[in-house]
Structure 1
Amino acid sequence: MIIRRFLLWVRSASASERAQGAGALARAYVSARLSPEERREAEAALLSLLDDTSAAVRRAIARELGAELDVPRHLVLALARDQSDVAALVLARSPVLLASDLVDCVETGDALAQTAIAVRPGLPLAVASALASVGAPDALVALADNHTAVLPEQLMHRMLERHAKLPALREALLARPGLPAAVRQRIAAAVAEQLTAFVTRRRWLRTERAEGAAREACERATLMIAAAERDDAALAALVRLLRAEGRLTPRLLLRGLLSGEERLFIWALAELADVPSGRVAALAADERGRGRGALLERAGIPDALRPAFLAAWSACRSFARQGQSDGDPIGLRQPILQRVIDACALRGEADGDALTALLRRFEAEVAREEARDTTALLVENAALGALIEADRAVIDRQRPAPGMIAA
């Protein structure tokens, strides 16, 4: 009887009054002890209110029923397919919705609805996959921020393929624990590309120079990522990505050896030469055999670069055995670089060839890094000296005059 009177009252009530009444009815439906007949009538009343012209009425129902389990599925589905500000209240919380329902809502909903789905705890993989494929940028950021959602590496790559230029997405992915090395490298490459485009548009640098600076920065970032990655499978995936994107270049590999980073080089040779990584590691340990040269040839390393690679490889392994790189940041190592330069000089390499030019650029880079370190140390020492002098001046001012002591 009460519900029938409610339905009669609804016909003449204002929109705000109807919204308040709908919210009260929804609360009663889930919390009051209703008889089976009263529950059926309340359900019918709620379903009829879904046709109300005021979205406030439907929002009130969604707000009360959105997180409830004991609610008719057809009622929740109707709310989930309503306009997005109503649907979001259900899509973000309802335990009634199945993965198939959520996938359908991802494919048909707008950015707000997709974002509401993306923040759900324990998001099913099928739903995350749908969001990665068709989700709006805001929804992808929310998905990356949702650390309870399982995001396989291929889904992260799909997200970056679509919106790698979005800073918020890159930041959200970088904040995820255990981010695969290949994803980190892709983010680094996207940042480098955007910086290049920005600098070029501003005309701060010529296009060629900006691209060169970005390439060097990306190479350094790639080596840092590779050095931090302890999982061989992840490192192999990084190498495959670099090759697919055309970034697995002789220049990168030579920079890696000159930086004392051999693992990336081993996996790169295994990928390029189609040889098991264990076999490459065995050949790497053979200092006197010809296996290294044959492996470089099979991997497609140009003939003119092989002497430098062989010298760098030997120097890199010697450097590692001596433990000289333990704890040091990734960067070009002067002792390794000098051994390669000396080896090329002994072979009578022309001063004007591309390899010599590249090695001289690396040499200049090392010199600049050393100058930065030296300058920073000098500034530190100068600041410390200034502090000491200031302390002495304060002590001298506070020390009493000799006559005062005698008195």
Structure 2
Amino acid sequence: MGRTSNANSKMTVFSYEENKLRAHSNETDVRVEVALASETEPEILYYLADDTDLNVRRSLAQNPATPVQANALLAKDEEDEVRQDLARKICKILPDLSGQDAAALQEKTIEVLEMLAEDQATTVRAIVSEALKDTMEAPRHIVLALARDLEEIVAGPILEYSPLLSDDDLIEIIASGVAVEALPAIARREAIGEDVSAAVAASLEIPAVAALLANPSAKVREETLDEIIDQAETVADLHEPLAMRLDLSLRAVRRIAGFVGASLVEKLARKRNLSPDVEADLKQIVRSRIDKAEEISALQEPGSALTAEALWATGTLDEERLTDAIKEKDHSFVATSLSLMTGFSQEKIQTMMEARNGKIVTSLCWKAGLSMRLAFKIQTKIAHVPRQEIVNARNGIEFPFTEEEMNWQLSFYTED
């Protein structure tokens, strides 16, 4: 049978024998045309899956008519571009599969999609994630796998938008160790429940907590907000999103006024349309705090008995003093005390604390001669160690590591 021409589209239709010859052509452009044409016979398209030219295989990956057997071969192609094109196509055609053999065809297509969702190239997995993020048609097990991906660019879109993820799914994902960079995506999710908000807050990850506070649709318990306020006292990045939160109780508002700047207190009062009496009360809290800070500053001039150095010199710097400083969120006092007790410079102490590593902080407290109970408090209240990395005591009071292990942890920061 010879070739025919469609007068309207001006597109030439080739016979089976002609396409066989064209698929073996030495001209790459001809083989590309065969690979792109939806009219090309499936067995010829399958043959082209092994073509040596990248452009031919990419064209085949883009063709919706390519048979699933050829797609399976392309999913293992050595070139990322081929697998990227295939990922875009598969995600697009999956919801449209229909007809007598739809079930079998869909099953085989999902197998190809599974391969792409586990691809070694982050870019391929990211394409799949972006394409499936807001659809109900996506296979749930693939969505869950993408949500647990270690790369934020892959996990983020699914975690933020996928309607297939329940609050229970999100809590389990957080508990099992979501990529830290992807945690804010959960916090930004529309209408997350109180348990999810509590799990995000408990992570102590500042960007995620800030995103949670900025999400007006997130449901947050008062107890969770109290925990966030405890953390926010010493974290400036949380001040504004916390002050702008509309579901704060009046008690929480007064607490916040105790540590945020005067300009934020004014914004807070305007945004919540507070009464003049309450606004005056908040301003008084700010003024009192400023006055108190000036008094403390005057008392803590060099040589004052209230400084950590003075307490150390007189032998009265102990766990009770440190416990009081932790309650007051006095980072400077705690850091200076640890420096004096360990002999490490304050710069090194600061670096260790900023690492937010439970093992490092625990080892540092051991070196300072402090108890494991105080080490736990410093981890959670001063260093803000993420929940999953907090080190707990053994038998309630003992350090859980050997001296050799703790010296090894410290050596990363103390050896030049």
TM-score between the two structures when normalised by the length of structure 2: 0.46
The structure that is helix-richer by fraction is: 1
Please identify the structure whose Cα radius of gyration is greater. Answer: 1
